[in-house]
Structure 1
Amino acid sequence: MQAVRKNETASGDESPLLPRLLGGNWYRLHPSVRARFAHEPEKPVLYEGVMETVYCSKAGWLFAQLTRLIGNPLTAHRGHNVPMQVLLTRREGGGVWWQRTYGFAHPFTVISAKRANTKGQLCEYVGMGFGMRLRVFASNGALHFVSERYFWEIAGVQVPLPHWLSPGETHVIHADLGGGDFRFTISMDHRQLGRTFYQTGIFRQRP
């Protein structure tokens, strides 16, 4: 799964976003992880795999229902060994659009975009201006994204949302497994409600 190629920030920096954010820690990533995340995809990239676990709590299910109004960013389903496709594309406006399709009996699709905001910070946007600002770091060769704040953006201004109104801190891990495979794990943990979502699975790029 790839991230952002070039993003002009308020300071005029047009260097690749993730290498810039990570600095010297960029080279602590596994080489295959760096290859996947160094640039925006020049053409659509398709990853296929199996989500070994797809979990949401009762509170997570409620969050998923409430967020239908902003584009289904959360899945209310549970399951094991769920086939999944992830399509990455570039669109007008910059950044990378991720389309994740879960192969349930009734397929479920989540669409989001990763791109820099006007301050050059990495954000993930869903629908109607809602999104989350992300902190990125490298650990044991894996790439980590952790949400710092959820927001509603209007006219380029991000209005912070209360933590209690979010599904919890989001932590995404991309870890290379060798041989073209990687593990994708996402967890969401709410301060009062505990773990609301958890998913993990193994993927590889489709030729």
Structure 2
Amino acid sequence: MTSARIGFPSSVAPHTKLLDDHRFHALLPPEDWGRLPVAIWRRFSKRLTDGATIVYVGEVEEASFTRAGWWIAQAARLVGGPLPIVSETAVSTIVTVTEDRTGGGQIWSRIYPRRNGFPQVIHSMKSFSGPTGLQEYVGFGITLALRISVADGALVFKSAGYALQLGPLRVPLPDWLTPGDLTVIHSDLGGNAFRFTLDIVHPYFGRLLRQSAVFRESAS
């Protein structure tokens, strides 16, 4: 089993306060939040001091692209490379979450090693703003509004429109200029492990890519 090979200990660093960050909780009705496992509550309720980082270490268990998906992922490198371009599995991966009090959000970095060549690094910033109360900035002025929900005990993030942010001006992007509908599912596996699953479905080309990885929180 993939998760059994990730032997990193659980820890709570001194700069972390459990159950003291209500920003994700506030985006869901209380009854939906109540349907989540306690482990997900804790994971999304940790308050970090400014600049503090949580590190999650995992292993990619599934990664696939269609031909159109591969080309769109390559084209997205022109705007900062926000999509995975690596289809290797059974390789280690790292996700870091850093609190950014200046911007009022969290900086997410994802590192995908490659057996040949340098690792791919994806940076984005989640801010608790925008039309849905949560949006992700991927660079070059491009933002993605997100809606969260609960399904089968998992926390689900779904895209709710891409836009070009020009200062205070937000210009929605047409579907043909976007990768398509994005869905991220965060499901708890018990034993301090969780699965992260990413799916992108294009309105014309269908599913472009799918990626799944199992993570544990590493010692800080």
What range describes the TM-score normalised by the shorter chain of this pair?
Answer: 0.7 to 0.9
RMSD: 1.6
C-alpha separation in 2, matches of 1:115 and 1:16: 13
Higher relative contact order (CA 8 A, sep 6+): 2
- CA deviations 1:9-29 (Å, max 9, x no partner) are xxxxxx832111102111111
Check if 1:140 corresponds to 2:147.
no
Give the TM-score of the pair, scaled to structure 1.
Answer: 0.87
Q: Alignment partner for residue 129 of structure 1, among 96, 121, 141?
A: 141
Aligned length: 193
User: After the TM superposition, which residues 1-207 of structure 1 pair with which residues of structure 2 at under 5 Å, given as runs?
Assistant: 16-24=22-30, 25-42=32-49, 43-91=52-100, 92-105=102-115, 106-118=118-130, 121-207=133-219
C-alpha separation in 2, matches of 1:16 and 1:74: 28
In the alignment, structure 2 segments of 5+ residues that lack a partner are: 1-20
Give the counterpart letter for 1:143 in structure 2: L
Percent identity over paired residues: 37
Give the TM-score of the pair, scaled to structure 2.
Answer: 0.83
C-alpha separation in 1, matches of 2:199 and 2:143: 16
- CA deviations 1:67-94 (Å, max 9, x no partner) are 2222110122212212100011122312
SS in 1 for 2:84: coil
C-alpha separation in 2, matches of 1:157 and 1:41: 30
SS in 2 for 1:93: coil
Give the counterpart letter for 2:71 in structure 1: L
In the alignment, structure 1 segments of 5+ residues that lack a partner are: 1-14
SS in 2 for 1:28: coil
C-alpha separation in 1, matches of 2:40 and 2:33: 10
Instruction: Tell me by how many angstroms 1:66 deviates.
Output: 1.9
Deviates more, 1:95-104 or 1:73-82: 73-82
- CA deviations 1:163-192 (Å, max 9, x no partner) are 122111000000001000001100000111
Residue aligning to 1:12: none
Give the counterpart letter for 2:27 in structure 1: L
Deviating above 4 A after TM superposition, structure 1's stretches of 4 or more consecutive aligned residues are none
SS in 1 for 2:86: coil
Give the counterpart letter for 1:17 in structure 2: R
* Residue pair 2:137, 2:144 contacting (<8 A) in 1 also: yes
